[in-house]
Amino acid sequence: MEYLYYLANASLTLRVVEFLHTRPQLPVSFVTVIHQIDGWVVRVKLTSPISPDDNGDFRAFLNELGISYEPPMRVQMALWSLETGQCPVDVMRRYQVAIVSHGNPEREEIEAFRQQFVRGLGYCPETLA
Protein backbone atom coordinates (compact mmCIF):
# COMPACT_ATOMS: atom_id res chain seq x y z
CA MET A 1 0.00 0.00 0.00
CA GLU A 2 1.12 3.51 -0.74
CA TYR A 3 0.00 6.99 0.25
CA LEU A 4 1.15 10.05 -1.68
CA TYR A 5 0.13 13.45 -0.34
CA TYR A 6 0.87 17.10 -0.88
CA LEU A 7 1.17 19.25 2.26
CA ALA A 8 1.33 23.01 2.57
CA ASN A 9 4.15 23.44 5.06
CA ALA A 10 6.86 21.85 7.21
CA SER A 11 4.71 21.74 10.36
CA LEU A 12 2.16 19.50 8.65
CA THR A 13 4.94 17.30 7.30
CA LEU A 14 6.35 16.93 10.80
CA ARG A 15 2.91 15.91 12.07
CA VAL A 16 2.84 13.03 9.57
CA VAL A 17 6.30 11.87 10.67
CA GLU A 18 5.32 12.06 14.34
CA PHE A 19 2.06 10.20 13.64
CA LEU A 20 3.98 7.35 12.01
CA HIS A 21 6.37 7.13 14.95
CA THR A 22 3.43 6.74 17.34
CA ARG A 23 1.78 4.00 15.24
CA PRO A 24 4.12 0.99 15.26
CA GLN A 25 1.24 -1.18 14.01
CA LEU A 26 1.58 0.49 10.60
CA PRO A 27 4.10 -1.65 8.66
CA VAL A 28 6.05 1.24 7.13
CA SER A 29 8.61 0.22 4.53
CA PHE A 30 9.85 3.77 3.89
CA VAL A 31 8.79 7.39 3.83
CA THR A 32 9.99 9.90 1.26
CA VAL A 33 9.80 13.63 1.96
CA ILE A 34 10.38 16.09 -0.89
CA HIS A 35 10.35 19.86 -0.55
CA GLN A 36 9.00 21.92 -3.41
CA ILE A 37 8.77 25.69 -3.73
CA ASP A 38 5.06 25.72 -2.89
CA GLY A 39 4.78 22.77 -0.49
CA TRP A 40 5.87 19.27 0.50
CA VAL A 41 5.36 15.84 -1.04
CA VAL A 42 5.14 12.92 1.39
CA ARG A 43 5.07 9.33 0.20
CA VAL A 44 4.43 6.56 2.70
CA LYS A 45 4.99 3.01 1.44
CA LEU A 46 3.84 0.09 3.59
CA THR A 47 5.39 -3.38 3.53
CA SER A 48 1.99 -5.10 3.67
CA PRO A 49 -1.70 -4.22 3.45
CA ILE A 50 -3.42 -2.93 6.56
CA SER A 51 -6.98 -3.41 7.73
CA PRO A 52 -9.69 -1.33 6.06
CA ASP A 53 -10.24 0.48 9.38
CA ASP A 54 -6.56 1.39 9.75
CA ASN A 55 -6.44 2.41 6.08
CA GLY A 56 -9.49 4.64 6.52
CA ASP A 57 -8.10 6.19 9.70
CA PHE A 58 -4.72 6.91 8.10
CA ARG A 59 -6.31 8.37 4.95
CA ALA A 60 -8.61 10.54 7.08
CA PHE A 61 -5.60 11.83 9.01
CA LEU A 62 -3.69 12.59 5.79
CA ASN A 63 -6.75 14.23 4.22
CA GLU A 64 -7.00 16.58 7.21
CA LEU A 65 -3.44 17.75 6.62
CA GLY A 66 -3.16 17.78 2.83
CA ILE A 67 -4.45 16.49 -0.46
CA SER A 68 -3.86 13.30 -2.39
CA TYR A 69 -1.14 14.01 -4.94
CA GLU A 70 -0.60 12.99 -8.54
CA PRO A 71 3.04 13.92 -9.20
CA PRO A 72 4.41 15.21 -12.48
CA MET A 73 6.66 12.81 -14.40
CA ARG A 74 9.89 14.28 -12.99
CA VAL A 75 8.75 13.66 -9.39
CA GLN A 76 7.38 10.21 -10.30
CA MET A 77 10.75 9.24 -11.74
CA ALA A 78 12.55 10.56 -8.65
CA LEU A 79 10.24 8.55 -6.35
CA TRP A 80 10.72 5.41 -8.44
CA SER A 81 14.50 5.87 -8.47
CA LEU A 82 14.59 6.17 -4.70
CA GLU A 83 12.45 3.07 -4.31
CA THR A 84 14.84 1.08 -6.49
CA GLY A 85 17.71 2.01 -4.17
CA GLN A 86 19.42 4.79 -6.06
CA CYS A 87 21.39 7.31 -4.03
CA PRO A 88 19.27 10.31 -2.98
CA VAL A 89 22.02 12.77 -3.99
CA ASP A 90 22.16 11.30 -7.50
CA VAL A 91 18.36 11.39 -7.75
CA MET A 92 18.31 15.03 -6.66
CA ARG A 93 20.83 15.96 -9.32
CA ARG A 94 19.16 13.97 -12.08
CA TYR A 95 15.58 15.10 -11.46
CA GLN A 96 16.15 18.49 -9.80
CA VAL A 97 14.08 17.72 -6.69
CA ALA A 98 14.91 18.49 -3.07
CA ILE A 99 14.79 15.17 -1.24
CA VAL A 100 14.68 15.98 2.46
CA SER A 101 14.37 12.41 3.68
CA HIS A 102 14.03 8.88 2.36
CA GLY A 103 13.77 5.79 4.52
CA ASN A 104 12.86 6.19 8.16
CA PRO A 105 12.27 9.93 8.54
CA GLU A 106 13.29 11.72 11.67
CA ARG A 107 12.01 15.07 12.83
CA GLU A 108 15.62 16.28 13.04
CA GLU A 109 16.18 15.82 9.28
CA ILE A 110 13.22 18.01 8.40
CA GLU A 111 14.11 20.59 11.05
CA ALA A 112 17.72 20.76 9.82
CA PHE A 113 16.57 21.22 6.22
CA ARG A 114 14.18 23.96 7.28
CA GLN A 115 16.83 25.81 9.31
CA GLN A 116 19.43 25.64 6.52
CA PHE A 117 16.94 26.83 3.91
CA VAL A 118 15.75 29.73 6.07
CA ARG A 119 19.32 30.69 6.94
CA GLY A 120 20.20 30.76 3.23
CA LEU A 121 17.20 32.90 2.33
CA GLY A 122 17.34 35.20 5.32
CA TYR A 123 13.59 34.80 5.97
CA CYS A 124 11.06 32.02 6.48
CA PRO A 125 8.71 31.36 3.57
CA GLU A 126 5.22 30.09 4.37
CA THR A 127 6.03 26.54 3.21
CA LEU A 128 8.77 26.24 5.84
CA ALA A 129 6.60 27.41 8.73
Domains and CATH numbers, the chain: 2-128 (3.30.70.1950)
pLDDT of residue 114: 82
Task: Provide the b/e sequence for 57-73 (b: ≥16 CB within 10 Å).
Answer: ebeeebeebbeebebee
d(CA 93, CA 88) in angstroms, rounded, equals 9
Is the pTM higher than 0.85? yes
Q: Report how far apart, in Å, the C-alpha atoms of 111 and of each of 8, 14, 50 are.
A: 16, 9, 30
Report which residue type is found at 40. Answer: W
Mean pLDDT by groups of 10 residues along the chain of 129 residues: 96 95 92 94 97 96 97 97 96 95 89 80 67
pLDDT of residue 2: 96
pLDDT of residue 52: 96
